[in-house]
A and B are shown apart, each in its own frame.
Chain A
């Protein structure tokens, strides 16, 4: 299995802050990397696919970048509805999710 490591596991930020979350693969996955947002009691929601493509309906403040083994999810200006847990997932081989990054209010 290709494993995914996210960092940090949690962070505190304020509304309007720029937030960056990192995901590292145990081997190259080219750009087969997706990002999800999950709120308590809800299923994950797709934000970004193939590393940098924005899913339809997702605000443009979300962006993704990277290739190979290192990827980032950036929220350009954090909004109140963005406080949630974020997961990366590789789709290069058997699907595998990262451990998650919880974004909390500072």
Chain B
């Protein structure tokens, strides 16, 4: 059974950097059959995929156009986890942030999710 455990601060001021970590249990961040994503949810934007990291002989990243200039997703193989860094946050970045495994077997789908972290951006 795969479990994803999120950690990181929930309150930020505008212009600060959002940093979250997702620890993986029961799978490996370097697996060839999945990608590791960050997704956020807010009343105004709904469920919004932010980006992913995955290993296919080397590491790759894909990012949503809406955050591409501000986001970094990094794997950490020594701790079997991956992280989200979102720079220069504004109140519009206030949302619940989820990490998720995107299984790439028969089709692609998000089959395991973290517990969610409410991130509030306010001065």
Residues of A that sit less than 8 Å from B by CB: 1, 31-32, 34, 36, 42-46, 49-50, 53, 55, 87, 89, 91, 94-97, 99-100
Residues of A within 8 A of B36 (CB): none
Residues of B that sit less than 8 Å from A by CB: 37, 39, 46-49, 62, 64-65, 98, 100, 102, 106-111, 113-116
The CA-CA distance from A75 to B109 in the complex, in Å, is 20
Residues of A within 8 A of B106 (CB): 49-50, 53
Contact check, B98 vs A43: say whether CB atoms are below 8 A apart. Answer: yes
Contact check, A46 vs B109: say whether CB atoms are below 8 A apart. Answer: yes
| CB nearest to B107 among chain A residues | A50
The CA-CA distance from A41 to B43 in the complex, in Å, is 13
The CA-CA distance from A106 to B115 in the complex, in Å, is 30
If A87-B47, A97-B46 touch, whether A43 touches B107 (CB-CB below 8 Å) is no
